[in-house]
Amino acid sequence: MIDEKESWIAKVPEVTLVFWIVKILCTSVGEIGADALTMSYFGETTEGVSPFWHEYGYLIGAGIFFVVFLIAVGVQIFAKKFHPIIYWTTIVATTLLGTALADYFTRSEGFGYYWGSVILLALVVMSLVIWRLTTGSIDIASVSNARSEVFYWVTIMFSQTLGTALGDYVASEDGLGLGYLLSGAVFGGLMLVLVGLYYSTKISRTILFWIAFILTRPLGAVTGDFLDKPVDDGGLGVNRYALTAVLLTLIVIAIFIFPQKPAEEAH
């Protein structure tokens, strides 16, 4: 028989400073790792790769990452309790899939960064509303059963995709054209505003969490773009494969050095 207190415990981590640091690292990994496959490996300048792969690189990448996403979510849902490695692996899977999907729809399908961001924001809001109406709560501490987890991961997948499109819209010349560094400052500043609202107002902590979760995605994305994009495009031109390996190593180190506890509902 399941202990009553155990039923309160979620299969996602409590929200701490470490949570946000690891989350931003994961978003950067997703941006750089997805670009490594869809741009560097299947890219137009890659020698010896068929034109088919060049043309459908984003779609193929999205298909590969979708399979990874399904496997990771399946393992996470069937796990009996919170496991940091499983959880953060699933987060990385959503960032990889979100990057490839956003690039495919905004670039290959021609939606553009603005309309791509608008459509994806609508999907995030719709997912949260349906989740709330179905289960009665969108608080992460309520993510303790398969139904809530499905809503949780669908919402996160949409938010990760939104974050990529939004980051590209703000940074790219096809959008606001702020560049990577200034865009990072903008998103970082918005995160500080949320911190201020958290400590100085009574605004719903759940709403603030989801806004912050969305904003960390473009923050990590533009940071990743700044590191790996060519110098001529405003980046540092660091090797994508090496960056991905370094960031994944930092994530693993953070997980093991700073133990994380599952979120618990307040009773």
At residue 129, φ and ψ (nearest 5 deg) are -65, -45
Position 192 pLDDT exceeds 90? yes
So what's the pLDDT on residue 40?
A: 65
So what's the pLDDT on residue 146?
A: 87
Angle CA 135–141–144, to nearest 5: 65
Confidence at 38, pLDDT banded by 50, 70, 90: confident
Buried b (16+ CB within 10 A) or exposed e, 93-114: bbbbbbbbbbbbbbbeeebbbb
Position 45 pLDDT exceeds 90? no
Percent of the chain with pLDDT over 90: 46
Percent of the chain with pLDDT over 70: 88
Long-range CB pairs of 239-247 (<8 Å, 24+ gap) are 240/32, 240/33, 240/35, 240/36, 240/39, 240/40, 241/36, 241/40, 243/32, 244/29, 244/32, 244/33, 244/36, 247/25, 247/28, 247/29, 247/32
So what's the pLDDT on residue 121?
A: 92
So what's the pLDDT on residue 184?
A: 92
| pLDDT tens readout for residues 151-177 | 999 999 999 999 889 988 999 888 899
Average pLDDT, the chain: 85
Position 265 pLDDT exceeds 60? no
Amino acid at 117: S
Which pair of structure tokens corresponds to residue 93?
Answer: 């899977």
The DSSP code for 25 is H
Could you tell me which residue, 44 or 74, shows the higher pLDDT?
74
So what's the pLDDT on residue 266?
A: 39
So what's the pLDDT on residue 2?
A: 37
- 265: how many CB neighbours lie within 10 A of its CB? 14
Position 194 pLDDT exceeds 90? yes
So what's the pLDDT on residue 129?
A: 95
| pLDDT tens readout for residues 231-242 | 888 888 888 888
| pLDDT tens readout for residues 107-129 | 777 788 899 899 999 999 999 99
| pLDDT tens readout for residues 20-37 | 999 999 988 888 888 777
CB 139 within 8 A of CB 206: yes
Could you tell me which residue, 173 or 44, shows the higher pLDDT?
173
Phi-psi region of 266 (alpha: psi -120 to 50; beta: other; left: phi over 0): beta
